[in-house]
Amino acid sequence: MSKLIAPHGSEELNPLFVYDAAENERLQHEAKSLPSIIVSSAAAANAVMMGAGYFNPLTGYMNKADALSCADKMVMTSGLFWPVPVMNLVADAGGIAAGHRVALKDPNVEGNPVLAVMDVTGVETFSDDDLNVIITKVFGTTDPKHPGVDALLKQGKTLLSGPIKVLNLSYFQTEFPDTFRTAVEIRNEIAERGWSKVVAFQTRNPMHRAHEELCRMAMDRLNADGLVIHMLLGKLKEGDIPAPVRDAAIRKMVEIYFPPNSAMITGYGFDMLYAGPREAVLHAVFRQNMGATHLILGRDHAGVGDYYGPFDAQTIFDSVPEGALKIDTFRADNTAYSKKLNKVVMMREAPDHTKEDFVALSGTKVREMLGQGIAPPPEFSRPEVAQILIKYYQALDSKSAAE
């Protein structure tokens, strides 16, 4: 069996999900008599990521000192490298105090079932200045129109910290049974396939030809054993394509255009931060935890609008301390279809090309075409993928016309 890359910060992966059925049931029962709090969607996603082993070696939500230290220097007070605060922020802690054990309830599932049990070690309040430091450092902007800033500002200023035991993985297992996988499950499958050099591709969108070829380039140039397409299944901003549609489009592409057993299609339960460079580093941390040796970093990775430069999410890795991460990055330039070469290329590798030599389509233009039932050119999108997206956009258009 191949030896996998070590997880971040420990020799073994330590997921916080309670796998022992009797213990899980006992905690579920105990939770009924505990004080409870319905957490924010962001805090729920953090619990799922810790439960699934993606946020190894964290044992729970960060306290104020750790949150501020992560935001400022990408390091916890213990010295552990971590790029983004992992918090449970609430508007009002009610009577919850340090020393209490509380049930954390899921805001995203009907009936608000218990997601985790938490031993509260701290109840602290952020000042406006504290929050400002976190927002500025993590998102690089304080603009409330930024979706990540907006989501953080709505959570509240009271920070509950302490270790958690996760009792279920929210709606991800039930809504995406074929796609959602824990870091534990992905590691196990990588080991079963005998892969050791593994490339991870992050996506919150369907994959167009350029994405597909980028994965192929990375696999070829790194001589990788396999590819893990790892899609975000949590909350997105308005206008992003829903996970089931994206899932169907990606599965169709892999089924037709990738060799058998060369790619795994998986997903994870997290709410997108749109934090650009900082989120790219977080992506590297949890891809290492799931067993990937390399993360593909494309243009404007995890970005939104024009808040970040096109390659900021690549250059931030130059400031990651030596040895802080074991995973490597595969840094990609803009990719486009070359009419001259009849294939997708990295634009920096085609210095003899002019703008006219590339097939260039904006995302807006592509959405317009799909909405009108027109498939984008095959140089941009695989026809089978385009059909799935056309169906989605036409249903969207007829729904808005009916309203």
- Are the C-beta atoms of 46 and 88 separated by less than 8 Å? yes
Residue 328 bridge partners (DSSP): 294
Q: Which listed residue (101, 204, 216, 251) is catalytic?
A: 204
Tens digits of per-residue pLDDT, 123-144? Answer: 999 999 999 999 999 999 999 9
Structure tokens at 196: 């050791």
Tens digits of per-residue pLDDT, 67-93? Answer: 999 999 999 999 999 999 999 999 999
- Are the C-beta atoms of 308 and 88 separated by less than 8 Å? no
Distances in Å between the alpha carbon of 353 and those of 213, 217, 336, 344, 360?
19, 19, 11, 13, 13
Residue 17 bridge partners (DSSP): 166
Mean pLDDT of 322-350: 91
- Measured CA to CA, the distance from residue 47 to residue 163 in angstroms comes to 10
With H, G, I as helix, E, B as strand and everything else as coil, classify residue 40: coil
- Long-range (24+ apart) CB contacts under 8 A made by 140-146 are 140/275, 140/276, 140/277, 140/278, 140/307, 140/308, 141/307, 143/307, 146/274, 146/304, 146/305, 146/307
Structure tokens at 101: 């054990």
Active site residue 108: no
Q: What percentage of the chain carries pLDDT values higher than 70? A: 97
Q: What percentage of the chain carries pLDDT values higher than 90? A: 82
pLDDT-derived band of residue 366, with 50, 70 and 90 as boundaries?
A: confident
Identify the weakest region by mean pLDDT among 145-154, 361-370, 373-382: 361-370
What does DSSP assign to residue 325? -
Mean pLDDT of the chain, nearest integer = 94
Q: What is the pLDDT of residue 367?
A: 79
User: Among 86, 101, 11, which residue's Cα sits nearest to residue 51?
Assistant: 86
Phi-psi region of 209 (alpha: psi -120 to 50; beta: other; left: phi over 0): alpha
Structure tokens at 262: 């060369």
Which CATH superfamily includes the segment(s) 179-402? HUPs (3.40.50.620)
pTM: 0.94
Q: What is the pLDDT of residue 362?
A: 67
Structure tokens at 330: 């595969």
Tens digits of per-residue pLDDT, 175-226? Answer: 999 999 999 999 999 999 999 999 999 998 888 888 999 999 999 999 999 9
Mean pLDDT of 390-403: 79
Q: What is the pLDDT of residue 17?
A: 98
Mean pLDDT of 295-322: 94
pLDDT-derived band of residue 66, with 50, 70 and 90 as boundaries?
A: very high
Q: Does CATH number 3.30.465.10 belong to domain 21-173?
A: no
Q: Calculate ∠ Cα 281-282-284, nearest 5°.
A: 65
Tens digits of per-residue pLDDT, 219-250? Answer: 999 999 999 999 999 987 777 888 899 999 99
Q: What is the pLDDT of residue 68?
A: 98
Q: What is the pLDDT of residue 1?
A: 52
Q: What is the pLDDT of residue 365?
A: 78
Radius of gyration from C-alpha coordinates of the chain: 21
- Are the C-beta atoms of 212 and 382 separated by less than 8 Å? yes
Q: What is the pLDDT of residue 263?
A: 98
With H, G, I as helix, E, B as strand and everything else as coil, classify residue 294: strand
pLDDT beyond 70 at 400: no
pLDDT beyond 90 at 347: no
- Measured CA to CA, the distance from residue 339 to residue 287 in angstroms comes to 35
Q: What is the pLDDT of residue 236?
A: 79
Q: What is the pLDDT of residue 401?
A: 64
Q: What is the pLDDT of residue 363?
A: 67
Q: Which listed residue (24, 112, 188, 205) is catalytic?
A: 205
Q: What is the pLDDT of residue 198?
A: 98
**Tokens 């009792």, residue located:** 167
Tens digits of per-residue pLDDT, 88-132? Answer: 999 999 999 999 999 999 999 999 999 999 999 999 999 999 999
Tens digits of per-residue pLDDT, 18-47? Answer: 999 999 999 999 999 999 999 999 999 999
pLDDT-derived band of residue 403, with 50, 70 and 90 as boundaries?
A: low
Active site residue 367: no
Phi-psi region of 179 (alpha: psi -120 to 50; beta: other; left: phi over 0): alpha
At residue 250, φ and ψ (nearest 5 deg) are -70, -40
* Domain locations along the chain: 21-173, 179-402
Q: What is the pLDDT of residue 85?
A: 98
